[in-house]
Amino acid sequence: MAHYLPLSRVARLVGVTRSALQKMIQQGELATFDGMVELDELLRVFPDIQWQDEGELEHVNAIKERAFAKRILERTLPDKEVLAERLYQLGKELGSAKSLLLHYDQVFDWLCQQMSEVAKDMGREPAAAVLALKHQLRQQLNAGPEEAGRARSLLAEESVMRIMSVHVTVQPSGHDFFVEGNDTLLEAALRAGIPLNYGCSSGNCGECKARLVSGQVKKVHPYDYVLSEAEKANGGLLLCSYTAVTDVVIEAEVAGAADIPQQIIQTRVRNIEPLTEDLLALHLFTPRSQRLRFLAGQRVRLSIDGAEGDYHIASCPCEDRHIEVHVRRDNRNFARKAFTGLHKEDMVTLTGPEGNFVVKLDSHRPVIFLAWDDGFAPIKSLLQHVMSLEAADAMYLYWVSDRLVHYQENLCRSWVDALDNFHYRPLAAQSGLAGVIAAIFADHPDLARFDIYAAGPAEFVDAARDAALARGLSLLGWHSERMD
């Protein structure tokens, strides 16, 4: 019985990123079938990985530690009924596997019996050969598969994972994500950076309507929106009201910038964090009932007491209610207010989002991010989005500091420490625009397979674009935001 695992779960089991696995697939090092990896193939390709023996209860915690990132452990367990249903599903699988084994056992006994009967009517030599074959068959069966120990432990670890979090595949986009804790399908998708279409997030508008293709879901929040009988019969569900009980496949719309409506939200100032003398990070919180729908890289208008200004969002849509913007000291009304008279708990009106400087979700190419001074704000948002999607093979960040210092340098360094495929190079504008451009592109003589996202003054963005195109970048791979 072949046992297949989705790529995302394999990534968690072996502790590598999905993009690293995709690279192995492209290079022919790992075989897949329909995007799934067979258990024996997994054991073959990762011969050095040892999984804990599932027989000992005390090892379960260790399995969980490795199976889930720390932040997930800190979050709540799934709903009791969901847990019970997942255990029941696992029990059912175990039951069918056991009955199949019992059947194979009976077939094997029957075969041995037949061999003994046939041998009686044979001459001495052929009979001895048949009986020797029977003996060998028994020996093979008693020995068990070569990798039995590792396979058993891997299956145990995967079973724990499947109880704690289930895997969702989105059609037709092919995105996938995990549902953990008590998250609805919508919350889990947004946390994973997948911008599924939605509106109210409370069961009223029907914008998050999707179709269940396979697997089981459970309603966790009541809703007022009325699904027609035909929709229900066709697997219709609201992503903001349902969670997944088993691994599921759903059909749902992924939103682009044009699909996201303008919103006006009263946000609360959670923190005003000075980054340098001339720059601060403003941390806003949206109300629980009205989260901001936006895509990484977009901007919003902020206003308070008649002072307003447009700012790029520096946080990731996967951060739920938290919105971060970087405000530099300049002649915008809002900047003056932010540096002189803004306080914690003040209410700031947010209008937006705007802009098309967003991640290309279907690209799995290496990505270069270029930021000039506080052009880092949208780049930070995009970077975190790409990280949460685990979409890119490799990510390179070049951050040029001109009048501002590299004000969130520690964050960039921590990404370098945490991710094998992230590279960071701070640059100083003092070496001149030509010098900066030369330094960036000296690392990348051939850009045919890249995507580039650049944010900063027009002069910088244009020079970078020309240099990139001269090195073979496709026009479709260039994405930029001028921030003059």
Q: Does 469 bind ligand FES (CB under 6 A)?
A: no
By CB under 6 A, residue 198 contacts ligand FES: yes
Q: Which stretch binds ligand FES (CB under 6 A): 79-87, 128-136, 204-212, 269-277?
A: 204-212
Q: Is 242 in the site for ligand FES (CB under 6 A)?
A: no
Q: Does 201 bind ligand FES (CB under 6 A)?
A: yes
* Sole binder of ligand FES in the list 99, 204, 234, 430 (CB under 6 A): 204
Beta bridge partners of 266: 349
**Beta carbon nearer to ligand FES, 199 or 236:** 199
Tell me, by CB under 6 A, how many residues bind ligand FES.
13
Residue that has been written with the tokens 């995009």 in this structure: 382
Q: How far is the CB of 223 from ligand FES (least distance, A)?
A: 6
Separation between Cα atoms, residue 67 and residue 10, nearest integer Å:
11
Q: Should residue 238 be labelled a site residue for ligand FES when binding is judged by CB under 6 A?
A: yes
Question: CB 206 → ligand FES: shortest distance, Å?
Answer: 5
The C-alpha atoms of residue 361 and residue 46 are separated, in whole angstroms, by 29
Residues 6+ apart with CB under 8 A from 388: 191, 192, 193, 316, 318
What's the closest the beta carbon of residue 293 comes to ligand FES, in angstroms? 10
Is residue 190 near ligand FES by the rule CB under 6 A? no
Q: Does 208 bind ligand FES (CB under 6 A)?
A: yes
CB of 232 to ligand FES, least distance (A): 15
> Whose Cβ is closer to ligand FES: residue 6's or residue 206's?
206
User: Among residues 196 and 386, whose Cβ is nearest to ligand FES?
Assistant: 196
Q: Work out which of 181, 199, 236, 457 binds ligand FES, going by CB under 6 A.
A: 199
Give the number of residues written for the chain. 484
The answer to the question of residue 205 lying near ligand FES (CB under 6 A) is yes
Q: CB of residue 187 vs ligand FES: minimum separation in angstroms?
A: 11
Among left, alpha and beta (phi > 0; psi -120 to 50; other), residue 432 is left
- Kindly tell me the number of DSSP H helices and DSSP E strands found in the chain: 15, 20
Which ranges in 253-343 belong to alpha helices (H)?
Answer: 333-340
Q: Which is closer to ligand FES, CB of 181 or CB of 199?
A: 199
- Could you identify the residue written with the tokens 């950076």? 193
Note the Cα 76 to chain centre separation in Å. Answer: 19
DSSP string, 43-83: HHH-TT--PPPTT-GGGHHHHHHHHS-HHHHTSPPPPHHHH
The residue among 200 and 463 lying less far from ligand FES, judged by its C-beta, is: 200
Tell me: does residue 195 bind ligand FES (CB under 6 A).
no
For residue 227, state whether it binds ligand FES (rule: CB under 6 A): no
Q: Is 14 helix (H, G, I), strand (E, B) or coil?
A: helix
Collapse the DSSP code of 251 into the 3-class scheme (helix H, G, I; strand E, B; otherwise coil) and give the result.
strand
